[in-house]
Amino acid sequence: LRVRERAVLPASVRSDLDNDLTAPAEIECMSQPRILMLGPPGAGKGTQSANLADEYDVSHITTGDALRANKDMDISDMDTEYDTPREYMEAGDLVPDAVVNAIVDEALSSADGFVLDGYPRNPEQADELEDMTDLDVVLSLEVSRDELVARRTGRRVCDDCGTNYHVEFDQPEVEGVCDGCGGDLVQREDDNEESVRNRLNVFDENTQPVIDGYENHDGYVAIDGERTPDEVWADIRSAVEEHAE
């Protein structure tokens, strides 16, 4: 829903002015939207979520960032193995869904608007999210399996500063050398083809049912994620303009 308010000059002033600049002005205002970003690993969720956060001045909430920001949260009343998320993270154990749900709920409750990226990962978490907030827009980035594999296996990461490159789409000025710090560019162990395909299989099993469940949401929009980032962003922006209140 777009709210438009007309500001009209008094007749006495309008009569003294005769040019196009004196036409009634339109002031457009949009409340901060609540957006869910879905899609498989490598679809571009992080890039486009950052665009949304900048464009609409909303919080970019990811489970990883939310966990790190709340790693000392007291969860001793949740009957879990550890009393804080930090203890799970330091032990290398998966943080239980109940803890992740509580942390995401806390992050959403403190945000006027948001783009949520990386949650929910399964139908149970989707049920929890429904109780936490009302979503304005649900965006699903659609990218073919072969394209996802090509994107992930071609990724190179600076061993020193962590900057991402790609052997086809985002090459450094000097092959194998980071433009920013001069560090070596390496392929992460989990970016080999076998690991990438395994991660996509896990996504299909656990998270694709979440996307299927949102297809009947009034604000659901499927986005072709195989085009250029600018073209994808144009579609995303149009979807938000159409569905956000």
Asked if 134 contacts 36 with a C-beta cutoff of 8 angstroms, the reply is no
Q: Does residue 71 have an active-site annotation? A: no
Q: Which residue in 97, 101, 67, 106 sits closest to 84, CA to CA?
A: 67
Q: Which of 71, 121, 145, 237 is catalytic?
A: 121
CA quadruple 154, 155, 158, 163: dihedral sign: positive
Q: Does residue 45 have an active-site annotation? A: yes
Asked if 104 contacts 95 with a C-beta cutoff of 8 angstroms, the reply is no
Cα(132)–Cα(110) distance, rounded to whole angstroms? 12
Q: Which of 34, 45, 151, 156 is catalytic?
A: 45
Q: Which of 71, 86, 199, 237 is catalytic?
A: 199
Q: Does residue 145 have an active-site annotation? A: no
Asked if 82 contacts 67 with a C-beta cutoff of 8 angstroms, the reply is no
Residue with the two structure tokens 């990883």: 64
Q: Does residue 188 have an active-site annotation? A: yes
Asked if 75 contacts 87 with a C-beta cutoff of 8 angstroms, the reply is no
Q: Which of 2, 14, 68, 188 is catalytic?
A: 188
Question: Which residues are catalytic, by number?
Answer: 45, 121, 155, 188, 199
